[in-house]
Structure 1
């Protein structure tokens, strides 16, 4: 076991360096079996160790080339407009605020600090995951907030008391419920499996929609004794909503209105390098990662370094922003980025996800469909009764839906959003954010998010 660890460690260090680019692509035959056989030999000699290392390096030599081919062109996070003066100001503001205690406070700590009541609730799903709900209680209408990919309930408070969506809704008197999907930092328990067990991570956003969302909505309605609630989803929080209503249309009666912030269903035009990286996904890169025993998406330093060099270049701005996978996934909008609040944002995201969630999105890049997870022809027949994964039945959705989208979103491209709009039969508002650089994360962290997004959201909630 020690030998395997040493070899794996060396390989990952090599994968972050220049040497990897000098190695040829491996042949079709895998060297994984050779590595395993040699590594378990208790009498491994120096020569055999060298052979193991060589085989391991050869087995991953194709990864940087696959990365480059997969992500293709992506916008640069750091561009020529960020001149020396701006960069110096950025770094100074960041360093001045790096010790902000809010970065280390839990969501409960943040709510208590700013004098908002906070309740913590536990929900058990049909398939035995234990989920956490956070609530800012009120006697008025319940509003349910569902976070995005790599996010958590923290998404709705990290912008600060002046801009956080949960704070704003509570100030308006709403009963605010914030969900947490299985696998994020607040929902890492299961009746049978620990997060160290690969079976714990065998889920995509399909299971989050069908099992997690249904359980949390039912729980909130039971506690509040209401017949329906208002739903606000961001990013993956919209994906899971579309899954739930497509698969279990009886939930149409439990939701009075749905606000879709950066809706992600069709994803053929997504620019996100992390999602594009997973586009060969279910058959290439994700299988390689799984072969090493990684089922939770916790990108190791070598992967972050490769993406950082390709997207951010070098320099202090890139060093700060690209140290966080959330910005590599979603990009950032320099004009709307609150630099003094950046340590708080980076202290709360990413919150965790499964590789399968990202691979499921990557699948959509290849197929141009909004479909169930592709297990391969034989396993698809076992799961679905057909050789190809079925598309989600969006025609089952009857809830009034308001769609918010923007031009510079790396995940919800305007063309994909408009395609979704045409497939939905109950859209009451299609709103394009009137700021060209507005990006994916801006829906929860932009300096002027209340002006650009939330004021319209509040009007829609009041009318529905």
Structure 2
């Protein structure tokens, strides 16, 4: 798909791409546009099924999955293809998005080019994940998403809680081992889970799109500067624990990055990914109506650590005592 080139987390700083494009409102989002306060009430959220699946003639079901640490995740199911039929005991496929997007990102091309529809029409039982903090997964059993406590997580928690909860739910619903498709950060959390022996008892296969693990090989000046900028103190710098790419703090951060010598933000896409032969401009416009989504600032810091340190490890709190408190050892635990 053409969009995958745009979304690749081969550049940790993918988020900055959308910040230099003409501002547009996010479809179904509760926020204003790119750092500007909304002057009118936000439209009600329209779920993935109603907004992007059912309109193309596919059956779709919405589910809620609660993680062990209390986050309530939105999950969609496309049980059959547009033509219907296919019998029972279809093979389940769980599709996991990358960073700064949600499950909607799989539906931005024409139906015949959207992976979930292709799989459903090919006889699979398709499930779409939406990670914590994204538009349809901004709820918790006790925490308020407007408070910093809600955003105290990194991809460590996606490995420990989100992915296992979603896997368990799909496995219970279908009674079958799961075929997994992950993109970008969706590959990182899968690899980390597999390395710890998690999920493998419920896994049948894994397809990793734009896979990432070691990010230290990035060569773009902008990616390097962004990784060095995302240090532990950035939460204090922003004043918020939520990294909202459409917010004022993120726009200010980008402006500072672009002022660095050797960073050319005029052609930002090429600066991040190189020349892209196949990018569909109309897809970019649709993308900007739906994405990007928030993540935890701590998550961005964790990814930056992966770039700077050249290893895949759990979140480094930067102070030995803090790491001992969390992991029982002086340094972060390697995966």
Q: Please state which band the TM-score falls in when normalised by the shorter chain.
A: 0.7 to 0.9
Show the counterpart of 1:8.
Answer: none
1:126 counterpart = 2:73: no
Show the counterpart of 2:264.
Answer: 311
Greater gyration radius: 1
Q: Contact conserved, 2:167 with 2:199, CA < 8 A, in 1?
A: no
Show the counterpart of 1:355.
Answer: 297
Q: Output aligned runs, 1:24-423, within 5 Å.
A: 107-108=48-49, 109-138=51-80, 139=88, 140-226=90-176, 228-247=177-196, 249-271=197-219, 273=222, 276-289=225-238, 292-298=239-245, 299-300=247-248, 301-307=251-257, 310-313=263-266, 331=273, 334-375=276-317, 376-392=319-335
Q: Output aligned runs, 1:7-26, within 5 Å.
A: none
CA RMSD of aligned residues (A): 3.1
In structure 1, C-alpha distance between the alignment counterparts of 2:161 and 2:225, rounded to whole Å: 27
The structure-2 alpha-carbon separation of the partners of 1:342 and 1:145, relative to structure 1 and needing over 3 Å to count, comes to: same
In structure 2, C-alpha distance between the alignment counterparts of 1:304 and 1:233, rounded to whole Å: 28
- The C-alpha deviation readout for 1:393-441, integer Å capped at 9, x for no partner, is xxxxxxxxxxxxxxxxxxxxxxxxxxxxxxxxxxxxxxxxxxxxxxxxx
In structure 1, C-alpha distance between the alignment counterparts of 2:227 and 2:198, rounded to whole Å: 33
TM-score, L = length of structure 1: 0.56
The structure-2 alpha-carbon separation of the partners of 1:259 and 1:195, relative to structure 1 and needing over 3 Å to count, comes to: same
TM-score, L = length of structure 2: 0.76
In structure 2, C-alpha distance between the alignment counterparts of 1:288 and 1:282, rounded to whole Å: 10
The structure-2 alpha-carbon separation of the partners of 1:345 and 1:250, relative to structure 1 and needing over 3 Å to count, comes to: closer
In structure 1, C-alpha distance between the alignment counterparts of 2:224 and 2:159, rounded to whole Å: 19
Instruction: Determine helix, strand or coil for the equivalent of 2:242.
Output: coil
- The C-alpha deviation readout for 1:99-154, integer Å capped at 9, x for no partner, is 9x999975322211111111110000100000000111134100010000111111
Show the counterpart of 1:395.
Answer: none
Gapped runs of 5+ residues in structure 1?
A: 1-70, 78-90, 393-464
Q: Contact conserved, 1:118 with 1:136, CA < 8 A, in 2?
A: yes
Gapped runs of 5+ residues in structure 2?
A: 1-10, 30-42, 81-87
Displacement of 1:306 after TM fit?
4.6
The structure whose residues are more often helix, as a share, is 1
In structure 1, C-alpha distance between the alignment counterparts of 2:270 and 2:301, rounded to whole Å: 16
- The C-alpha deviation readout for 1:196-241, integer Å capped at 9, x for no partner, is 1111000001101110000001101111122x11001100101111
